[in-house]
Structure 1
Amino acid sequence: MFGALGLRAASSGCALRRSFTASAAQGYQARLSQFYHNTLRDDLMVLQYVPPAVRARQLELHETQKVEGVSESAPNPLRRHKTKIPRAREPRSTPHNVPFVTKVTVHIRCREALNNKNHLLSALMALQIVTGRRAQLIRAKSDAATWKLRKGMPIAAKVDLEGDDMFEFLDKLVEVVLPRMKEYGGLRMSAGDGNGNFTMGFDDSVIGLFPEMEMVYDMFPLITGFTVNIATTAVRNPPGRLLLSGLGLPFLHARKPESETHML
């Protein structure tokens, strides 16, 4: 009888733990995600607000300003004629189009894999430990005789993060890894691809600063640098830079020469 009661209690306890874990997982939200939705989103909308008079003036300037480009419809590509292409218009700031981080990609390229494919195992395991997600291989899309590269050879690994996993990785990068770097002033103000997306590159010593890698760093036979690509919904670099600075990523301001500072 006691065995049946104990088994029933154990099964009920497991069911309670499963239900509690499921409810906790449903209600869980990363700290950085909570900060964005509760505080940063409203601040970004206020900072990007443009008065109606200024907005009308910007629209007038947009209609008058044209950018010279190259037309691809010319019959002879060597004699392309120039046409005027209108500049892309930035949408008005509303609560529905506030800049937001959509995806973070952590990428490791391993040159040693050209000679030995087993070196990619270190990159795959390092990405899995740091991000908590299974990494996927990246294979060469074309041949390159200079690098002795053939199409289909595995050369890199990457992990795509979205949702709470993305915010947890950014939070760990901003609060733990970057402050422990000795010489890191931040991203340059000119960084970005022009569409609000940013890329950061780190050497092989930085991956050992993650808390998950401290205890197992010496077990890896090969450690390489990694790249972090941050994709946002911003259409230009300034809104994306404002978003990332609000999340805690530092930006390096250009320093003026000493002669100019003395003159001022």
Structure 2
Amino acid sequence: MATSLRGVSRSARALQPFSSTQFASVRRCASTQAPGSGATPAAASKNIPDLAELETRSALEAPLPSAEDKKDFRPWKRAADRKARLPSSRYQYHPPKYNRGPLHPIQSPPSSDPIARDFVPGPFNMPRLKETFRTNLASDLMTLAYIHIPPGTPKKEPTERLRSWEGDSPYFANRARRAPRGAPELPIRERDITFRNIPEIKEITVSTFVPAGLKDPNVLIVARAVLLAMTGSVPEMTKSKNSVVQWQLQANKTAGCKTTIYGNAAWEFLDRMIHLVFPRIKDWKGVKGSTGDGSGNVQFGLNPEDVQLFPEVECNYDMYPAKMIPGCHIAIKTTATSDRQAKLLLQGLGIPFYST
């Protein structure tokens, strides 16, 4: 066919039926064989009208842009000279500044979305202990804490945790109930573990108390450096509330430091403590089984000899004076609603408990 197919529109090409010459032309264009023996592909493309317009050279062989081309290349000027622009209000989404409730038609995107106002990049890594918890331990906790209730079992009425006012005074009619005896605040009521509220590690607080820092400020500096190396978070200095004569402690004086770590940093710290520190403590029974505050938080302490076993402290042991390395108190805060659930979680992660 004398006329090239490139000059015909796409719709016309679709409507025009193929002839024998067109089919032979297309078949020859798709073939890699040369028309004659010894002919090169470039010479073969010259004999075919439809391939004459193709570029025979590779784009990698194109020359580099010259200095004049680089000088004239100004994309910002081209964007500024553009007259027609897209309206930002229609084609660009801006998250709302205020959330007007869960039923409002316009909702803020999640923090994982890059266009969110509270966008937090990541996570860039998954702690090994956290991955073990999500893949294995989470389902095991639901199995261990499962309580089978046969169908038709009547529900138990919840016990009254608040006391009613006794007497015939008219002021007791609409008055709020009283707290139980000996408890100014009500403890958290334990909830059954389901797939919605599996206990997890929320935060870990590491604190140290060094009364000797009142006489020697270097003890406080060493204690703060040790906590910084262990947790990777800058500790804050703490002050004593009361005066204790036996410890030579004065009120409102700096006598320690503490720091709190969250998220992946807490999982990493717990992983190092379970697998690198606890196995090396000599004659260590474990954490006392009666520990806990009744709301799913577990506390225990480590001696100065135990703190020296942390890899961050051990690798730079010569940097710290041996007699100035303090002990520490560790408080693990979980999302559990009772000490029983918190101990199930920590036992599954590898913390041993012993009963007296």
**2:250 maps to what in 1?**
149
Matched-pair identity in %: 29
Q: Distance in 1 between matches of 2:332 and 2:342?
A: 10
SS at match of 1:133: coil
**1:194 maps to what in 2?**
294
After superposition, residues 1-264 of structure 1 pair within 5 angstroms as: 26-53=123-150, 60=156, 62-63=158-159, 89-140=189-240, 142-144=241-243, 146=245, 147-151=248-252, 153-221=253-321, 222-254=324-356
The answer to whether the Cα contact below 8 Å between 1:131 and 1:169 also exists between their aligned partners in 2 is: yes
Which residue type is aligned with residue 154 of structure 1? T
Higher helix proportion (structure 1 or 2): 1
Q: Distance in 2 between matches of 1:143 and 1:87?
A: 27
The answer to whether the Cα contact below 8 Å between 1:197 and 1:231 also exists between their aligned partners in 2 is: yes
SS at match of 1:42: helix
Q: Distance in 2 between matches of 1:113 and 1:55?
A: 64
The alignment's TM-score, normalised by the length of structure 2, stands at 0.55
Cα distance change on mapping 1:235 and 1:55 into 2, 3 Å: farther
SS at match of 1:198: strand
The answer to whether the Cα contact below 8 Å between 1:62 and 1:87 also exists between their aligned partners in 2 is: no
Q: Distance in 1 between matches of 2:180 and 2:289?
A: 31
Which residue type is aligned with residue 60 of structure 1? K
Structure 2 gaps of 5+ residues are: 1-120, 166-177
Q: Distance in 2 between matches of 1:87 and 1:128?
A: 33
Structure 1 gaps of 5+ residues are: 1-23, 72-80, 255-264
Q: Using the TM superposition, give the Cα deviation of residue 159 of structure 1 relative to its aligned residue in structure 2, in angstroms.
A: 1.6
Cα distance change on mapping 1:109 and 1:115 into 2, 3 Å: same
Q: Distance in 1 between matches of 2:326 and 2:295?
A: 29
RCO higher in 1 or 2 (8 Å CA, sep ≥ 6)?
Answer: 1
Q: CA RMSD in A?
A: 3.0
Q: Using the TM superposition, give the Cα deviation of residue 119 of structure 1 relative to its aligned residue in structure 2, in angstroms.
A: 1.5
SS at match of 1:108: strand
The answer to whether the Cα contact below 8 Å between 2:296 and 2:334 also exists between their aligned partners in 1 is: yes
The answer to whether the Cα contact below 8 Å between 1:70 and 1:83 also exists between their aligned partners in 2 is: no
**1:259 maps to what in 2?**
none
Q: Using the TM superposition, give the Cα deviation of residue 92 of structure 1 relative to its aligned residue in structure 2, in angstroms.
A: 3.1
SS at match of 2:304: coil
Cα distance change on mapping 1:193 and 1:26 into 2, 3 Å: closer
**1:76 maps to what in 2?**
none
The answer to whether the Cα contact below 8 Å between 1:48 and 1:93 also exists between their aligned partners in 2 is: yes
Q: Using the TM superposition, give the Cα deviation of residue 56 of structure 1 relative to its aligned residue in structure 2, in angstroms.
A: 5.5
Q: Distance in 2 between matches of 1:182 and 1:168?
A: 23
Deviations 1:56-87 (A, max 9, x none): 66x52643xx679899xxxxxxxxx9968998
Which residue type is aligned with residue 174 of structure 1? I
Which residue type is aligned with residue 144 of structure 2? L
The alignment's TM-score, normalised by the length of structure 1, stands at 0.73
The answer to whether the Cα contact below 8 Å between 2:291 and 2:300 also exists between their aligned partners in 1 is: no
Deviations 1:99-143 (A, max 9, x none): 111011111111111222232000011011111221111123x34
Q: Using the TM superposition, give the Cα deviation of residue 232 of structure 1 relative to its aligned residue in structure 2, in angstroms.
A: 0.9
* Count of equivalent residues: 217
